[in-house]
A and B are shown apart, each in its own frame.
Chain A
Amino acid sequence: MSSKKIVIVGSFGVGKTSLIRRFVDDTFSEDYKVTIGVHILKKTVQLQDHDINLIIWDTEGTDEIEEIRTSYLLGTHGFIYVSDVTRPKTYEKIDEHKQYLSKNFGNVPIFTVGNKSDLLPKGSISQKKEELDFLDILVSAKEGNNVQRLFEKIAKILIS
């Protein structure tokens, strides 16, 4: 079984850790605990003809991507850039940050994710999706919407 390193990046409080907890343990907590340094978790994704170990590195939140310790990002097979759909500030620099990652850490897939979709007013989701069409997927770590789908999608791309 092959293993792939995934690094989660994004601003403070966008829900990086909650997203991973939802994916790995299928749990969610309202308590906000700041990530210090890096957390590493693992989950095996079972695809139709292949199993893959995702080793997920959860980094501490930062508005400036250059501030993340370079050594944590080395050898990454895929990045997940998490933003908060209710806070435009968290996705304003997304293109700039993607360029930085591609330039410095190889041409690996970067998945842009808009978290907290559960906070969008009912009935406005499709309109918001259009507004945020630069994001690959909208998810909700709290309710679990699209979380499994996101990681399965990543696993498929990494295998192919």
Chain B
Amino acid sequence: MINQDDKLDLLRTLLLTDDRQLTESISKKISLLEETIREREKLSAKVSPIIKEELETFALNIPDQLGPVITQTLKKQIEESKDQVVEALYPILGKMIKKYISNEIKLLSENVDNATKDVFSGRAIKRKLKALFSGVKENEIILSNLAKAEVEQIFVIEKGSGILLGSYQTKETVDEDMISGMLTAIKAFVEDAFKETQHDLQSIEYDLYEIHLHSFHKYYIASAVSGTFTERLENELEDFNLEISQEISKRNIIYDRTKLENLLLDKFKSYKFTEE
């Protein structure tokens, strides 16, 4: 005989079997979810592909979605601080352009110069003749002349101490005694740093200037040249320096600044660099 309680149990079983199964299934799913969320790696494995996909879509859409905003922001910023932008960009761009142009002219000038080396020089008519005989276009010769080098300063500097013994310059510059000292310090530093090579520093390039250094026993001659410093000018400059050195020895005026500077002036006036 089944009692009242057993009857109720039987009835519960018959009526709630489906619900129980559903509850167990939900419970299992929740446990699995909890486990996935708790364990970083599992969560990452599930979420990463979704994030990656979203990011890829985002990256692809940046030009369309953010491009106009960025452009607008930049435009506004540049408009509002034009001076700062120009100030920041001008020196960089200016120098780059100047150097590029100078280098191109140098190349062009050297090519033209090589082609016309042995033809007699002159102005206007001579240049036309030069163009006629050399086959180089007159325009190119003019261009070459435009990039002509100019020896702007000559310093005779005592070796070691860096004391200026005499100078000649076509333009006003900063204190020449300081220039002599700094040139000597730079020369000394470079020669010390690479002393294994036993060579003297022969030139320093600075912006559009080339400072040519020619060493003698007690002193060295530094010549600042603007424009295109060709091999030909270098040879002429060395000849010029040798002539000066000979005169200095002959007249024994190395420590007489006035006489030395007069010599530099005379020599500079009488000597014609073909580049100039």
* In the assembled complex, A86 has its CB within 8 A of some CB on chain B: no
Interface segment among A68-76, A133-141, A151-159: the answer is A68-76
B contact residues around A71 at 8 Å (CB): 160, 188-189, 191-192
A contact residues around B178 at 8 Å (CB): 40-42, 55
Contact A57 B181 (CB under 8 A): yes
Closest partner residue, chain B, to A53 (CB atom): B177
Contact A3 B189 (CB under 8 A): no
Contact B189 A5 (CB under 8 A): no
State in angstroms the CA–CA spacing of A76 and B158 once bound together. Answer: 11
Contact B192 A69 (CB under 8 A): yes
* In the assembled complex, B185 has its CB within 8 A of some CB on chain A: yes
Interface segment among B51-59, B114-122, B161-169, B206-214: the answer is B161-169
A:119-151 near B, CB below 8 Å:
none
What 0/1 pattern do residues 65 to 88 of A give for CB contact below 8 A with B? 000011110111100000000000
State in angstroms the CA–CA spacing of A71 and B178 once bound together. Answer: 17
Partner of A75, one of B159, B175, B191: B159
Contact A76 B161 (CB under 8 A): yes
* In the assembled complex, B182 has its CB within 8 A of some CB on chain A: yes
Question: Can you list 14 pairs linking A and B with CB atoms under 8 Å apart?
Answer: A3-B177, A37-B185, A38-B185, A40-B162, A40-B181, A55-B163, A55-B181, A69-B188, A69-B189, A69-B192, A71-B189, A72-B185, A74-B188, A75-B159
Seen from chain A, the residues whose Cβ lies within 8 Å of a Cβ on chain B are 3-5, 37-38, 40-42, 53, 55, 57, 69-72, 74-77
| Interface contacts beyond A3-B163, A5-B181, A38-B185: sample of 20 additional A-B pairs, CB < 8 Å, sorted by A | A3-B164, A3-B177, A4-B163, A37-B189, A40-B181, A40-B182, A42-B177, A42-B178, A55-B162, A57-B181, A57-B185, A69-B188, A69-B189, A71-B188, A71-B189, A72-B185, A74-B159, A75-B162, A75-B163, A77-B161
* CB-based closest 8 A-B pairs: A75-B161, A75-B160, A71-B188, A74-B160, A40-B181, A5-B161, A3-B163, A71-B192
